[in-house]
Amino acid sequence: MFSEELKKYDWEEITRKINGKTSADVECALGKELLSIDDFMALVSPAAAPYLEKMAQLSRYYTQMRFGKTISMYIPLYLTNSCTNSCVYCGFNRHNKIPRVILTPEQIEAECRAIRRLAPFENLLLVTGGNPRAAGTDYLERALQICRPYFNNLTIEVMPLPEEDYGRLTKSGLNGVVCFQETYHREKYKDYHPAGMKSDFEWRVNGFDRMGKAGVHKIGMGVLIGLEDWRTDVTMMAIHLTYLRKHYWRTRYSVNFPRMRPSESGFQPNVVMTDRELAQLTFAFRLFDHDVDISVSTRETPVFRNNILSLGATSMSAGSKTEPGGYETYPQALEQFAVSDERTPAQVERDIRASGYEVVWKDWDKIFD
């Protein structure tokens, strides 16, 4: 399990290594096609800031070489904001005084129909809070079965599950799983997740192993930018990705770098990442892993997303609602966090095509299941 591998790496030591990188280290990394973790640390270090243009050029080259000039589209569907966790930064924190709902089967189907009216989405991300009793595996299995006739590719972003549950859900149409570790800082993790299932660091970080063993087709990873030092956190994530590729090499992988957005929690970020730093991180990950899918959500502004789409990103959401039932049942009422990009899917598609890129609505078919 990765939790044992992670014990080999000291947070403070990684931080010192990153901050100790020099221009020579950056130039050495930029001269390689295959990068080590040490090279990755150089590219996310402060020393790499003057090399942003060179990094962008290489990132564009490797992205187009692997993915062509395409952007894959997806949309999230929040099924419930019911949650037993106490994550201090989240709008769904169980202590927040907001109305709680769990969509019924009929409401889930109504949301599917509403999304289909928005745009020809085929990649659907189903999102829940952490409430295993009220919205556990049985509920998720039923939701997948309802959504399957409407969408070719179904991904879930839910609480970490046992290996056998991931295997069970793949038989009901599940294609992928997204899970944000939030932070790899083992000691500080408990401060941000004081109660609930999510407070168990080992269970969460080892969830990716359970996904891999269950044969999940695609695994999505991410850390929440705003909790701890982002350079160290993403280095830990790069180490984690390397481990997963070695052990579960049949699986596809994606990464996401969500910056903290305003929510009902009122939590203020401990670390603020600039647009240039987010671009640097995107380029560094593309140079480190030429095959990984890099996703950019509506947390980011239209200006940033329009710029990054030709420089390393490969998938984007559009028209997102972050409240359960936000497309039809409970519009604009119960959101997890505020979005930055409020363009319609048609407007996002127009801007992507204006950049000379092709919009991919469908890249998976039911027949492959």
The predicted-structure confidence for 323-337, as pLDDT tens digits, reads as follows 899 999 876 555 555
* 59-83: average pLDDT: 97
The pLDDT of residue 337 is: 55
Asked if pLDDT for residue 111 goes beyond 90, the answer is yes
The pLDDT of residue 268 is: 87
CA dist list (Å): 196 to 83, 95, 186: 9, 12, 16
Domain ranges within the chain, ordered by starting residue: 2-362
Q: Rounded to two decimals, what is the model's pTM? A: 0.95
The pLDDT of residue 97 is: 84
The predicted-structure confidence for 112-142, as pLDDT tens digits, reads as follows 999 999 999 999 999 999 999 999 999 999 9
Strands 123-127 and 358-360: unpaired
Query: Between residues 268 and 242, which one has the greater pLDDT?
Result: 242
Cross-strand partners of 18: none
Q: For residue 214, give every residue at least 6 positions away whose Cβ sits within 8 Å of its Cβ, in sequence order, or none.
A: 163, 164, 166, 167, 170
Kindly report the CATH number that applies to the domain delimited by 2-362: 3.20.20.70
Asked if pLDDT for residue 10 goes beyond 70, the answer is yes
Asked if pLDDT for residue 193 goes beyond 90, the answer is yes
* CA 288 – CA 125 distance, rounded (Å): 26
187 membership: H or E segment, kind and range? helix 186-192
- The token pair at 55 is 């990094």
